[in-house]
Chains A and B, each alone.
Chain A
Amino acid sequence: EVQLVESGGGLAQPGGSLRLSCAASGFTFSGYWMHWVRQAPGKGLVWVSRVNPDGSGPVYADSVKGRFTISRDSAKNTLFLQMDSLRAEDTAVYFCARHYGDSVWGPFDIWGQGTMVTVSS
């Protein structure tokens, strides 16, 4: 079964850090672009970051640029999101998602269940 399972969410203080993980199974992880998307409570979906199949070329939303780092470990079939200098507005459910298709403009076909990040003192 194709599956993505996030972990690592929790409560962090403003200015603190968290590292999210997304374990992939059931497909050739190293063959896909991967994304992080977040959803603040009661709000819509917001794209956060994308990384190439080989781990190169990370891109970020302006709201997280310079604070978040996306990476992947193909040996462990795992996607990561290192979140530093956290702010209250980063509070959200964070989903990892698999990119569908052979172009970088494609949709996201597989989503994890999400992990909640709460930034509060």
Chain B
Amino acid sequence: DVLMTQTPLSLSVTPGQPASISCKSSHNLLYSNGKTYVSWYLQRPGQSPQLLVYEVSNRFSGVADRFSGSGSGTDFTLKISRVETEDVGVYSCMQGLHLPYTFGQGTKLEIK
């Protein structure tokens, strides 16, 4: 299985400050069509996950532009340019190129 390793596992950020989460894959996630199948999700406390970013850097419909994804091959990053209180929750990366789909362990973001 493809191992998705996230760092850090927890993050405490002051509102208005940036945040960054890393996700490293054990396998290259670039497909022959030129697309890389990594997505990011936010699970707010008590809620189901919601899609933030897909194919590394495409922001999903309705997602605030303070969220951005980047990376290639095996190294990926989710950045929040200015954290807001509503960004609290657990962020998870996921790869969809190889079965089984696999998620990172999750990064818990808290507000200072």
| CB-contact partner of A45 in B96, B97, B106, under 8 A | B106
Asked if A45 and B100 make an inter-chain contact with CB atoms under 8 angstroms apart, the answer reads no
Given contacts A44-B103, A100-B51, A100-B54, contact A105 B94 (CB under 8 A): no
Residues of A within 8 A of B43 (CB): 45
Asked if B51 and A108 make an inter-chain contact with CB atoms under 8 angstroms apart, the answer reads yes
A56 to chain B, nearest CB (A): 16
Q: How many of chain A's residues touch chain B, expressed as a range?
A: 20 to 34
The complex places the Cα of A46 from the Cα of B49 at a distance, in Å, of 12
A38 to chain B, nearest CB (A): 11
The complex places the Cα of A69 from the Cα of B23 at a distance, in Å, of 31
B49 to chain A, nearest CB (A): 5
A88 lies within 8 A of chain B by Cβ: no
Q: Which residue of A is nearest B58, CB measured? A: A107
B104 lies within 8 A of chain A by Cβ: yes
Asked if B103 and A111 make an inter-chain contact with CB atoms under 8 angstroms apart, the answer reads no
User: In this complex, which of A45, A62, A106, A107 has the most chain B Cβ atoms within 10 angstroms of its Cβ?
Assistant: A107
B70 lies within 8 A of chain A by Cβ: no
Give me the interface of B with A, judged by CB distance under 8 Å: 31, 33, 35, 37, 39, 41, 43, 48-51, 54-55, 60, 92, 94, 96-97, 99-106
New contact pairs (16) apart from A44-B92, A113-B48, CB-CB < 8 Å = A45-B106, A47-B101, A59-B99, A61-B100, A62-B100, A100-B51, A103-B33, A104-B96, A105-B31, A105-B37, A105-B97, A106-B37, A107-B37, A107-B54, A108-B39, A108-B51
